[in-house]
Amino acid sequence: MIIVDYLKKSFFVAIWFMFLTFPIMVIRVDSIEGIVEWRWQNMLLVGIGSFILSLVGRYIRIKQEKAARSVQKGRVQQLKSSLLIDPKMYLPGLALISLLVLVFPFLFSVYQTNIMTTALMYIVLGLGLNIVVGLAGLLDLGYVAFYAVGAYCYALLNHHFGLSFWLALPLGALLGALFGIVLGFPVLRLRGDYLAIVTLGFGEIIRLVLENWNEFSFGPSGIANIDRPNFFGIDMSLNESIIALYYMMVCLVLFSIFMVNRLQSSRIGRAWIALREDEIACQAMGIDKTKTKLTAFALGATWAGMVGVIFAAKTTFVNPASFTFLESAIILSIVVLGGMGSIVGVVVGALVLILLPEYLRAFSDYRMLLFGAIMVIMMVFRPQGIIGNVRKSYLFQEKKG
């Protein structure tokens, strides 16, 4: 009876998705020939796919409920993600991934290496925003502003003063942190939707200033001929520079993971989590709410500033069109899709959202449709993200005797 009920619910889910995608997937109008083409096979594929995904989602939910019920008799178990990976496979899997990362530029083309470098940049951006949104619970829709600050910091200093990449990298991080504090002060009393609106406005202010202040930022024309990173004074070709930048991003991702993990386990990290769970209770326990929020904004913006410098060096050109609200939405989607507060989840979310559109160019007409469908499915069946953060539990036992 339960199986029949699940089949029935999955059938209605499939009907609903077929209805939603009908105008896009089925109807095709040829305006030149004046012909309307009905692609019923697409509707059938959508129905079958959504039906199967619905069943898989319900199966995963049943497994999670059984795992939750298994926690009993005072023993606390950390629930693993629905990927159900055997812990014995962690070390071999990690070794295999490390080997693949090291030899990636030699196995694939420079184009593929360039795409992977972009994905690594978004991993670092996601880890930075994860501090603000995932740990501190502060919804920031203007995160791209700090990204733009770092990029223009290097672009302007290199253009006017010939400053090298390695000197601009810490300056971009510091400038990003400074702007994070500047944003943090006006929004100390705001929460939820109001905070989101103010941060969105801050991001748009930065973009509009860069677009209209021609004397400072060269306006919509942007800044070109930015120097690429110089590694140990060696003159490198374009391909060699892309490969070197890839390895630099790998090092930065590892450094970011280490730092965010340490911050998460530190006193300030626990204060962020307390602030996210209940701001009033957090303040009642003696935690300085002002300091905690400003630290979250500053540290989150630091990573965005660094990646902004790397972005300017990678593309050798920046203009305000690269820092629209869509960039903030993509970075936020990475955090939400991967799992708020989860480092591994952010890494997986960035790889999924950045690499899949590149490798599914055959479906370029439906990429945004697939993106929206993935987000809807995740929010319905896996609201905690692909790899949700495991809440830490502490068990206190009285010492006998």
Contacts of 346 by beta carbon, 8 Å cutoff, 6+ apart: 123, 126, 127, 130, 134, 334, 335, 338, 339
Report the C-alpha gap between 114 and 117 in whole angstroms.
5
Task: For 27-68, give the secondary structure using H, E and C.
Answer: EEEECCCCEEEECHHHHHHHHHHHHHHHHHHHHHHHHHHHHH
Q: Is the pLDDT of residue 81 over 60?
A: no
Instruction: Give the residue, 398 or 288, on which the prediction is more confident.
Output: 288
Dist CA 53 CA 58 (whole Å): 9
Q: Rounded CA gap, 139 and 124, in Å? A: 18
Cα atoms in the Cβ-side hemisphere of radius 13 Å centred on 25: 21
* Predicted local confidence at residue 68, as pLDDT: 63
Find the mean pLDDT for residues 227-253.
86
Closest CA to 348 of 59, 139, 137, 127: 127
Better-predicted residue by pLDDT, 301 or 278: 301
Whether the pLDDT of residue 86 is over 60: the answer is no
Q: Is the predicted pLDDT of residue 153 greater than 70, yes or no?
A: yes
Report the alpha-carbon distance of residue 294 to residue 68 in Å, rounded.
Answer: 36
pLDDT at 266 over 90: no
Nearest to 337 by CA among 381, 272, 294, 305: 381
- What would the pLDDT profile of 18-47 be if each residue is shown by its tens digit? 887 777 777 777 777 778 888 888 888 888
Secondary structure of 144-183 as H, E, C letters: HHHHHHHHHHHHHHHHHHCCCHHHHHHHHHHHHHHHHHHH
pLDDT of residue 90: 65
Instruction: Please write the tens of the pLDDT for every residue from 90-130.
Output: 677 778 888 888 898 888 888 889 999 999 999 999 999 99
Q: Return the top range by mean pLDDT from 163-167, 352-356, 377-381, 392-396.
A: 163-167
**pLDDT over 70 for what percent of the chain?**
88
pLDDT band for position 6 (cuts 50, 70, 90): confident
- Residue position matching structure tokens 């903030």: 328
Contacts of 377 (CB under 8 A, 6+ apart): 53, 57
Report in angstroms the alpha-carbon separations of 143 from 208, 317, 330, 345, 394. Answer: 15, 20, 10, 19, 34
Tokens of 299: 């540290």
190 near 198, Cβ under 8 Å?
Answer: yes
- For residue 38, list its beta bridge partners: 27
Q: Which amino acid is at 344?
A: V
pLDDT at 56: 79
In which band, very low, low, confident or very high, does the pLDDT at 74 lie, cut at 50, 70 and 90?
very low
Tokens of 341: 């507060």
Report if pTM > 0.85: no
Q: How far apart are the first and last CA of the chain?
A: 53
pLDDT at 252 over 50: yes
What is the DSSP annotation of 341-361?
T-HHHHHHHHHHHHHHHHHTG
**Would the pLDDT of 262 be above 70?**
yes
Distance CA 264, CA 262 (A): 5
pLDDT at 17: 78
Mean pLDDT of the chain: 82
Mean pLDDT of 148-159: 92
Residue 83 above 50 pLDDT?
no
Question: Would you say residue 371 has pLDDT above 70?
Answer: yes
